[in-house]
Structure 1
């Protein structure tokens, strides 16, 4: 236990100053937030913070009440803390009177006092490995969320700029389905985001720097007090408090005053997260390249011997700003499905390493998340090509990476349009792709009827090669073939009749059809090589 004087010394004279104390001071029990006109039970030894005290009569009444209930000290801001009547009342009540320096955020004070009471330094409160719930450097943010919740008297979440939940307060006395689903999913659900976006909330967050009050909505969503978190003009994230109604100006101000402190913690978290990301990415790269040190890298990443898949992701934004989109995708993957997969970047591609199992953190969960992400993305969102290698042991991850890259080649060429293309599910496409590659290298395109057809297409602007390939791909089904070419079935039939007059070829011979298909696939493969 620690008494009032020792506590003030530990928190520091920059934030607190002793105005007066009894001859002997009590050991401090806990921190209590007081609000004028609201009954509050105070236990022996409590430190009482007069957050919303703005009038002299309120300060005097608070001190008398706290003295009666056995509090250890009352903390007030100037000018109340140094008023003669307030000082004399504190002396009569046997209370320590502490001045909170101007510019001190109440939530910062709650956070620091609780750390001091616990006998830890703030920088040590998140544990030696700087992790919380699987994310690096978030322990302090959770404690800070608790402190902010006490100040605003409401449950609080701290989110990053992508509406991912980084921390939330322990108190859950006031909640609604939107908050529950946000915490459970560690991100505000799309339907919740859409409601706040429709009210202009995110537009205000992006442009503003003050607290925003959003009234209750007809679907039962409770009111929100929202504070953007900025540093140097950059929007780092936001704080969301679920409130029963519009809060007092004093509490709203106290809520807003915590923003700089939260911003510092978000920057600290981002620095730790970036360092952890680089370290982890380097180790994953060793595994995927198949070089020396694979066993040591797997041990450092705490990988089990279960089979893993390599997922290759090629992000193609229309505006060309691929790097920012890759980082956003990296963060989405590593936060979106519980136990995060391991991710690295190489030559403009993202690679995720995931265990071959169902449940949180496994391939099944990631595939479901990727499918949903692709189908829900907005029209202006970047195009994503996602290719997946087979599940292999840790010693064969380089092979799974090569498989993923081979499938990625199919996606880039347009020969498959699967949202998530998996190696073993596209074996037939891979057979044709490899065969076409070998045929191209062997020069088979110079044989048979293709050279004159190719020359005719080039000189006359016709499309007989594409027509023949569609016919071979959809034998006996001119409607399907014409649909692939986006022409009328009668146009397709006319082209095929005309083709018979241009070249001498027996399309009834199955070996001729097979040879033509190999040639045409090889030509198509060469165009996208």
Structure 2
């Protein structure tokens, strides 16, 4: 059994959004449809759908009546679900209030809710959606076969990121674009570029009917494309390979199947999200070394061999959103050979990977990350990848700590690598640990840095950054100036002015070491300079 919160999470934010929570947690018993003026069929624990609600008064009366009958929650469409009177009634009577996204079909929602209540199993025939022809609609592949039979053309079902979720068995019309799409589990970039140039994806985001895409000059066969939507969200699309222009009846029949495919895509999302949450919960036990980690390792099938924790910061750069984070997650989960175990925490993805050669091991994953991870995110974003040291399963928290420490170096710009590995970066780790330990001792107040810091603050100069670059690249002003993105003459002038502001013997190796520790301490001190 599940409560209201878990039920809403299973169906997902595409369709449902909690407005108020029930005062008492209880398991959901059933999904019922109540008449606005006759809620007598409502029982304790029921989730009640306000199908016939059209006025605020009806919404208030239904909410009050459901609270009196012990219902778990009332589901109402906007704008009534957020009306003050309705919210007050829900809170006063202790019943949950859930918003049903506009445009959602009640019949589809009933089916999805009952599927979620049944533990994601296929509902019985009384609540199962209609079938297409003789083929069952129990999974996306059978559904693709059914749609292909209806429109007499090979079909692929893709998500909103053009990744293939399912395809029909028939291959009588297969061009290189379709073959590469199926083999690569997604449309190749050159194929996507052709459809973008024709405005196909722009039409998908705006319309709801089938789109005909003529044959391409390179021999790519014509396509019939239909968007798949639910509750206003574009969930994906269906692509049928055709021989030429199709009749209006055939195009309409293809478009009509989108509603049923939308149900299955949401169901697919429910199943995927449920499995991901379960796996992520177990992975977190391993990462934290929490009680029950041994059982988690057994359930996940983690073998008794060295593993690494790999941290991927997918928040870096501009343009990163939840869709891109999910794309990275799914790509890692699909893995290289064997699937890595992945969990997310604070916008960072953590993968637990065996430290061995061969499919699914750290060397294969590292190579794949270097080669492909930039394909999954906008060009303006730069994912940061940090790997902890190889440890026994019981010591995975130590590896995670190492990955986080290396990730800190990448975030601070202290190292510049596509994939940073703990044991390769011992020297900056020594310096930054020493600087971090010195920060609380007030070492930044010693020597000339206070004068330079105050001058930078009052005059907008960059003497601290200039000195730091000089210390990292002594005797190499060209490289140091490139790091600061200034001309070498500008860099030399800054160093000349710096020596006029403060008296410091930069020829003394102990002075240079002390200044470097102080500057590193400032970089790592959250209350230091920005």
Query: Which residue of structure 1 lines up, in the alignment, with residue 504 of structure 2?
Result: 505
* Superposed CA offset, 1:303-360 (max 9, x none): 2234332222333377898555433432343346564322222234322223334555
Query: Which residue of structure 2 lines up, in the alignment, with residue 149 of structure 1?
Result: 148
- Write the distance in 1 (CA, Å) between the matches of 2:446 and 2:301: 56
Does the 8 Å CA contact 1:374/1:419 hold for their aligned counterparts?
A: no
- Write the distance in 2 (CA, Å) between the matches of 1:368 and 1:491: 40
Q: TM-score, normalised by structure 1?
A: 0.68
Q: Which moved more, 1:194-203 or 1:503-512?
A: 503-512
Q: What's the CA shift for 1:149?
A: 2.3
Q: TM-score, normalised by structure 2?
A: 0.68
Does the 8 Å CA contact 2:374/2:382 hold for their aligned counterparts?
A: no
* Superposed CA offset, 1:91-128 (max 9, x none): xxxxxxxxxxxxx98x712214xxxxxxxxx65xxxxx
* Superposed CA offset, 1:23-50 (max 9, x none): xxxxxxxxxxxxxxxxxxxxxxxxxxxx
- Write the distance in 2 (CA, Å) between the matches of 1:253 and 1:506: 81
Query: Which residue of structure 2 lines up, in the alignment, with residue 233 of structure 1?
Result: 232
Does the 8 Å CA contact 1:470/1:484 hold for their aligned counterparts?
A: yes
Which runs of structure 2 are paired with 1:348-359 in the superposition (5 Å)?
A: 348-358=347-357
Query: Which residue of structure 2 lines up, in the alignment, with residue 476 of structure 1?
Result: 475
Q: What's the CA shift for 1:454?
A: 3.4
Q: What's the CA shift for 1:459?
A: 4.5
- Write the distance in 1 (CA, Å) between the matches of 2:228 and 2:456: 61
Query: Which residue of structure 1 lines up, in the alignment, with residue 57 of structure 2?
Result: none
- Write the distance in 2 (CA, Å) between the matches of 1:229 and 1:218: 28
Residue 135 (structure 2) aligned to one of 108, 111, 123:
111
- Write the distance in 2 (CA, Å) between the matches of 1:170 and 1:410: 50
Query: Which residue of structure 2 lines up, in the alignment, with residue 488 of structure 1?
Result: 487
Query: Which residue of structure 2 lines up, in the alignment, with residue 190 of structure 1?
Result: 189
Q: What's the CA shift for 1:383?
A: 4.8
Query: Which residue of structure 2 lines up, in the alignment, with residue 521 of structure 1?
Result: 520
Does the 8 Å CA contact 1:317/1:325 hold for their aligned counterparts?
A: no
Query: Which residue of structure 2 lines up, in the alignment, with residue 168 of structure 1?
Result: 167
Query: Which residue of structure 2 lines up, in the alignment, with residue 387 of structure 1?
Result: 386
Cα distance change, pair 156–218 in 1 and its aligned pair in 2 (3 A)? same
Cα distance change, pair 268–450 in 1 and its aligned pair in 2 (3 A)? closer
Does the 8 Å CA contact 1:142/1:168 hold for their aligned counterparts?
A: yes
Does the 8 Å CA contact 2:156/2:240 hold for their aligned counterparts?
A: yes
- Write the distance in 2 (CA, Å) between the matches of 1:319 and 1:488: 27
* Superposed CA offset, 1:254-305 (max 9, x none): 3333222222221221111111111111111111111121121111112223
- Write the distance in 2 (CA, Å) between the matches of 1:484 and 1:181: 42
Does the 8 Å CA contact 1:413/1:528 hold for their aligned counterparts?
A: no
Q: Which moved more, 1:341-350 or 1:296-305?
A: 341-350
Cα distance change, pair 493–374 in 1 and its aligned pair in 2 (3 A)? same
- Write the distance in 1 (CA, Å) between the matches of 2:463 and 2:318: 35
* Superposed CA offset, 1:490-525 (max 9, x none): 333333334444433332222222222222222222
Q: Does 1:403 align with 2:402?
A: yes
Which runs of structure 2 are paired with 1:58-77 in the superposition (5 Å)?
A: none
Cα distance change, pair 199–365 in 1 and its aligned pair in 2 (3 A)? farther
- Write the distance in 2 (CA, Å) between the matches of 1:241 and 1:405: 46
Cα distance change, pair 167–353 in 1 and its aligned pair in 2 (3 A)? same
Q: Which consecutive unaligned segments of at least 5 residues does structure 1 have? A: 1-103, 113-121, 124-139
Q: What's the CA shift for 1:461?
A: 4.4
Count of residue correspondences: 400
Cα distance change, pair 316–516 in 1 and its aligned pair in 2 (3 A)? same
Give the alignment's Cα RMSD to 1 decimal: 2.9
Query: Which residue of structure 1 lines up, in the alignment, with residue 374 of structure 2?
Result: 375
Query: Which residue of structure 1 lines up, in the alignment, with residue 96 of structure 2?
Result: none
Query: Which residue of structure 2 lines up, in the alignment, with residue 441 of structure 1?
Result: 440
Does the 8 Å CA contact 1:341/1:361 hold for their aligned counterparts?
A: yes
- Write the distance in 2 (CA, Å) between the matches of 1:455 and 1:346: 38
Q: Is the partner of 2:208 in helix, strand or coil?
A: coil
Q: What's the CA shift for 1:527?
A: 4.9
Does the 8 Å CA contact 2:227/2:234 hold for their aligned counterparts?
A: yes
Which runs of structure 2 are paired with 1:264-413 in the superposition (5 Å)?
A: 264-316=263-315, 322-323=321-322, 325-335=324-334, 337=336, 339-358=338-357, 360-376=359-375, 382-413=381-412
Cα distance change, pair 365–210 in 1 and its aligned pair in 2 (3 A)? farther
- Write the distance in 2 (CA, Å) between the matches of 1:432 and 1:490: 30
- Write the distance in 1 (CA, Å) between the matches of 2:527 and 2:195: 44
Which runs of structure 2 are paired with 1:254-269 in the superposition (5 Å)?
A: 254-269=253-268
* Superposed CA offset, 1:358-388 (max 9, x none): 5554434443443445534675765533322
Give 1 or 2 for the bigger CA radius of gyration. Answer: 1
Does the 8 Å CA contact 1:389/1:400 hold for their aligned counterparts?
A: yes
